[in-house]
Structure 1
């Protein structure tokens, strides 16, 4: 046995050894392979060898000692776990021999985690599950997890949606307080509130939407006046019906917006509100926030006003029926409308054309694109994908919504207090220099434009074209843009070419629009305005991006299952993204996007990060270029589709014309 002096000497030796080590604190960051990194608190990123990486999970806080190998390269050795993560995650249940595991769907963690017998919840091999780390691997390198929910098998209809919602921790069920508050509301509440409102039920408002739409949040009418039109945009008014910051509104803020996903909508508001009491259903008395706008014969917006009113929609019209009417075809569903409503519909079409022309001349229009709509079979898989171009009716509704939203932005800005605006800052700051270089290399009036200013950006987009025989300037510029973001202070929306912008026209579907309703309503009623903090705004934007990611992940999963049905048929498409390894092609007919790697093409290609081109001896590939491709494969783990070039191509861009 050691005597007291020997133990003391041992402790002192250990202390001296520890003192001599280069100890640092950092956070674990694992890679897609077996090794990882430690991001030190001083900003350095240090390599973590495989045998060390086995003992940690992403996000762990650790103390490490730094050593160097024979080549002088530093690496980290784990000394102490300061904070162990125990993440909840989704994954797929796997059985190998006598071992039962979960293959986790966690960024940077690619090793299977063991599930002990009592923690398996009767899962079957291949099932998708929710799991929780129950034993951290730091001590032994062998972690354990327990299954908390079996989501279902890969063959279960709708598993893609169920799994993705679970992955991002998004619930579909309504909490009891929300249901209780919704069930307490009824038509009598609308009638009670209607007493003190302007009655516009005699005006021929109509809704224009898809046939299947139930949450109708806008109704329109227009009349011709001297020098133009009087346009009225009626927007559903849930802000007046709901209790401020009640259970429903708190959940709406949490859900942030309705998610339009394959298999059905995940609504922001309970259906009794979104589809019934607040929806502008034909023949029903409904609360509405009205924006009345004077539009001149050139499409410019003049004076406007907001009012809290009640309306009765005269009809629910489909896009196709209205598009036919605007093209001089009277659909059967319109024949029963009174002449007053038909005349209003005609004036809406005329006013919308003028407003669109004004925006084309003085602001910016988004490039017209088709919409791709998935049709699912009884198993929840894609049966077909329909390509749908916007009709004149879609453009009519768009112009009316943009006009009303512009007025809302001006209204809030005039109050001088904190509002809620959508700001788009144009080209990303780090890309402005590249665009300037690109413009200098071109001949013509754009050479001296400053892409870093709102006016310069607008002029560039107004005059730029995307042409396969020259440089796809417009497409290149649009690839360099910032994301639009919300702000409390008005600033230009460069993407639309407008001095300021907000949205309030979708309060049944977007919480920010509902909040803008509250801001406008409180001004009209001379009450104190509701407040959002900077943290609230940041969270709303993060939650919006998360929901968009969820929808994208579900769609991409289904598309990867559908892609092999393309077979060996040649598909026409356009290049939508160019990087050094290859380019992304969007198919014209289905909208599927797949990657073409340059490894499959003969010869070497050089990537130009300014012009976004790949140039070889004979060919150049660039944005917006038409190509023909054939389905090659699907990477199911990464959910990526791969194409290869077809043998016969359309007239390709030569290397000489693109440089």
Structure 2
């Protein structure tokens, strides 16, 4: 046995070793393999071998020490767990011998995790399950999980949506306090507020939307005047019925946005509010925040004002019906509309045409890429994918909404703060590549600085239809930064505007709802609780998560639908390129699939400037917007990825392949 002095010396030695040990803080990054990395706070990545990855989970904050292995390569050894943000995940239930496990389907967890007997919730093999980390694997590399909920089995109707909700920790039901608040509201609440507002119920407002839409948050009218048009945009006013910081408002902030899942949306507000009491239903008195604005003959905006009002929509018009009135087609529904409505629609169309012309000259328009609509069957899987045709009514609504939102941005900008949607243009780490691109392939544009908002707008305008060896505008568009929310006004370079915000969808987006609060507080001293920086970050993260969830479900459903393509040859265009291959978007239905370079003869190199893949020997290239012909190869159900096989021409050259695809539109 060690005496007291020896034990004291040993403790001191351990303390000295710990004090002298060099540790690095970082965040665990998983890979598709069993190994991983630690993104050190000092800015470099440190390799984590499989035995160390067994001790951590993706996103863990840890301390590591750096060591050199037998081959002289640096690797990390986990020293201390600081924080583990990953608490819940989804997977499949697996029974192997006497062991019960969850096979995670959360990216980065590449191991089975044991489920103790008390925490199995009567799950059956192959059930999709929602789990919580019960024991972190840090100490011995043997983590444990407990089942919180059995989601269902593969193949059940709607399982894809239920699994997606669980994957992204999205609740379907409303908290009791929110439901209670919604249930307590009635038409009497509208009547109680209406008396303090301007009555505009006799004016010929109409809503223009899809026939299935129930949460109608905008109604329009226009009339000609001496210098152009007075356009009035009435926006649903849920803030009038919901007290600041009430349960429903807090839940709307948490949800951030309605999620338009195929077939069945997840709303931001309870239906009693979003589809009944606040929706601008036809022939029904509703509360609105109205923006009246002058649209000049050249499409520029003149004076504007905001007003609290009550409105009564004179009709719920579909896009097709509105377009038929604009085009002068005489259908029974069009004939039944009041003359005041058809006259207003004609003036709206003229004003919108002028607004669009102004944006073409002075700002930026988004590209008219073909869109597609998913039609689901009784099992909530894709029955059909059909084109979503954009007509004049779609463009009319878009221009009116953009114009009203520009007015809101100007109003808040004059006060120096608010809530703005900003866009910094190109990603900062891609600007040098774009400068090189312009110098080599578009010398007439080389003097432009892509980091400048004005020059970026000019670049996007002048690169439209540019005759160059590479598709300059498509390459630039593939390297844009993400839009951001900000309390301070800043350019929205993607739209080519000096400032922008949105207030036209308060039933669907919390940021729009919040802008209503800001406008009301500034004009009518209505109470509001400002968002903090932390809340703004959380709101933006929730918006991103919502988009990811919608894309995830849509991608899953498309993967299930893809086998119906069979062996039929399909034309498409290259939509994205990466070093490992390229993605093709089919012309007929918009499905995107991957063509791996491994399936092509020879080797290809990737150019980060032109985003081209080039054969290292014969020079054959694949680049953005190139037409190609493909067939379905397979579907990777684990990665939820459709894989295509390129249909080769007789010679297999790039030019012949392009010509073949172009000849089969």
TM-score interval, normalised by the smaller of the two chains:
over 0.9
* Counterpart Cα distance in 1 of 2:53 and 2:41: 18
Following TM superposition, by how much is the alpha carbon of 1:355 offset from its aligned partner in structure 2, in angstroms? 1.2
Distance 1:84 1:489 in 2: 33
Please give the secondary structure, in 2, of the residue aligned with 1:441: helix
Secondary structure at 1:259 match in 2: coil
* Distance change (3 Å), C-alpha of 1:287 and 1:79: closer
Shift of 1:493: 1.4
Mark the CA change 1:372 to 1:86 in structure 2 (over 3 Å): closer, same or farther: closer
Aligned residue in 2 for 1:611 = 610
Query: How many residue pairs are counted as aligned between the two chains?
Result: 656
- Secondary structure of the structure 1 residue equivalent to 2:265: strand
Could you say what secondary structure the match of 2:544 adopts?
helix
- Say if 1:378 and 1:299 are closer, same or farther in 2 by CA, change over 3 A: same
Separation in 2, partners of 1:86, 1:439? 43
**Which piece of structure 1 moves more, 570-579 or 8-17?**
8-17
Q: Is the 8 A contact 2:649 2:657 kept in 1?
A: no
The alpha-carbon deviation at position 447 of structure 1 amounts to 2.9
Deviations 1:241-279 (A, max 9, x none): 211221111111111111100231111111111111111
Give the conservation status (yes or no) of the 8 Å contact 2:90–2:128: yes
- Kept in 2, the 8 Å contact 1:252–1:269? The answer is yes
Q: Which residue pairs with 2:460 in the alignment?
A: 461
CA distance in 1, matches of 2:232, 2:203: 10
Is it true that 1:642 corresponds to 2:643 in the alignment? Answer: yes
* Partner SS for 1:497: coil
Q: Which moved more, 1:455-464 or 1:550-559?
A: 455-464
Q: Alpha-carbon deviation of 1:506?
A: 0.5
Secondary structure at 1:396 match in 2: helix
Structure 1 CA distance for aligned equivalents of residues 393 and 658 of structure 2:
43
Listed one character per residue, the Cα deviations across residues 219-248 of structure 1 (whole Å, up to 9, x for unaligned) are 111111123211111111111221122111
CA distance in 2, matches of 1:34, 1:423: 39
Once the two structures are superposed, the pairs formed by residues 386-405 of structure 1 within 5 Å of their partners are 386-405=386-405
Report the CA distance between 1:325 and its aligned residue.
Answer: 1.7
Moved more, 484-493 or 647-656: 647-656
2: CA distance, partners of 1:44 / 1:599: 30
**2:534 corresponds to which residue?**
535
Q: C-alpha deviations, 1:554-604, integer Å up to 9, x for none? A: 111111111111111111111111122211111111111111112222233
Quote the Cα distance in structure 1 between the aligned partners of 2:128 and 2:273. 34
Paired position in structure 2 for 1:621: 622
Aligned partner of 2:427 in structure 1 is 428
3-state SS of 1:366 partner: coil
Deviation per residue, 1:418-440 (Å, 9 max, x gap): 21111112122222222222222
Shift of 1:83: 5.9
Q: Greater shift after overlay, 77-86 or 444-453?
A: 77-86
State how 1:542-621 maps to structure 2 within 5 Å: 542-616=541-615, 617-621=618-622
TM-superposed CA distance for 1:95, in Å, is: 2.1
CA deviations on 1:521-579 (whole Å, 9 max, x unpaired) are: 22221446641221121111111001101101111111111111111111111111112
Q: Using the alignment, how far apart are the partners of 1:450 and 1:63 within structure 2?
A: 42
**Structure 2 counterpart SS, 1:335:** helix
Matches of 2:145 and 2:98 in 1, distance apart?
16
Q: Provide Cα deviations, 1:157-208, integer angstroms capped at 9, x if missing partner.
A: 1111111111221111111111121122211221221112111111111110
Q: TM-score, normalised by structure 2?
A: 0.93
Distance 2:82 2:495 in 1: 49
**CA–CA distance in 1 between the matches of 2:653 and 2:207?**
46
- Using the TM superposition, give the Cα deviation of residue 28 of structure 1 relative to its aligned residue in structure 2, in angstroms: 4.4
Deviations 1:432-454 (A, max 9, x none): 22222222224564232222212
CA distance in 1, matches of 2:346, 2:83: 67
Q: Which residue of 1 aligns with 2:100?
A: 100
What secondary structure sits across from 1:141 in the alignment?
A: coil
- Following superposition, the deviation at residue 8 of structure 1 comes to 5.8
Superposition deviation, residue 313 in structure 1? 0.5
Given that residues 197 and 310 in structure 2 are in contact (C-alpha distance below 8 angstroms), is that contact kept between their aligned partners in structure 1?
yes
Q: Which moved more, 1:427-436 or 1:548-557?
A: 427-436
Assess, with a 3 A threshold, how the Cα gap between structure 1 residues 404 and 63 changes in structure 2: closer, same or farther. closer
3-state SS of 1:514 partner: helix
TM-score normalised by the chain length of structure 1: 0.93
Residue aligning to 1:513: 512
Distance 1:399 1:83 in 2: 47
Task: Return the alpha-carbon distance in structure 2 between the equivalents of residues 308 and 576 of structure 1.
Answer: 45
Q: 467-476 vs 561-570, which deviates more? A: 467-476
Q: Structure 1 residues 89, 463: CA separation in 2 closer, same or farther (over 3 Å shift)?
A: same
- CA shift, 1:401, in A, is 0.5
Deviation at 1:114, TM superposition (A): 1.5
Q: Distance in 1 between matches of 2:57 and 2:102?
A: 15
Structure 2 distance, partners of 1:122, 1:371, is 44
Are the equivalent residues in 1 in contact too, given 2:49–2:76 (CA < 8 A)? Answer: yes
Partners of 2:493 and 2:80 in 1: how far apart?
50
CA 1:241 to 1:9, structure 2 compared with 1: closer, same or farther past 3 Å? closer
**Offset of 1:400 from its aligned partner?**
0.7
Q: CA deviation at 1:631?
A: 0.8
SS at match of 1:47: strand
Other structure's SS at 1:254 match: helix
2:244 alignment partner, SS class:
coil
Alpha carbons 2:593, 2:642 under 8 Å: kept: yes
- Name the residue aligned to 2:226: 226
Q: Following the alignment from structure 2 to structure 1, what is the Cα–Cα distance between the partners of residues 287 and 16? A: 77
Superposed CA deviations along residues 311-333 of structure 1, whole A, max 9, x for unmatched, are 11110110011112222213322
Asked if 1 retains the 8 angstrom alpha-carbon contact of 2:474 and 2:625, the reply is yes
Q: How far 1:54 sits from its partner (Å)?
A: 2.6
The offset of 1:653, in angstroms, is 4.5
1:106 offset after TM fit, Å? Answer: 3.3
Q: CA separation of 1:111/1:103 partners in 2, compared to 1, >3 Å: closer, same or farther?
A: same
Specify the alignment match of 1:344 in structure 2.
344
**Partners of 1:573 and 1:586 within 8 A in 2:** yes
Query: Would you say the 8 A contact 2:60–2:86 is kept in 1?
Result: no
Taking the aligned partners of 1:654 and 1:460, their CA distance within structure 2 comes to 31
Report the alpha carbon displacement of residue 2 of structure 1 after superposing the two structures with TM: 5.6
**1:159-558 equivalence runs, <5 A:** 159-414=159-414, 416-442=415-441, 445-466=444-465, 470-527=469-526, 530-558=529-557
1:386 is paired with a residue of what secondary structure? strand
Residues 113, 295 of structure 1: alpha-carbon distance in 2 compared, 3 angstrom cutoff: same
Offset at 1:135?
3.1
Aligned equivalents of 2:597, 2:213: Cα separation in 1: 44
Deviation at residue 485 of structure 1 after TM alignment: 1.1
Q: Which residue of 2 aligns with 1:67?
A: 67
State whether residues 157 and 379 of structure 1, in contact with CA within 8 Å, keep that contact through their aligned partners in structure 2.
yes
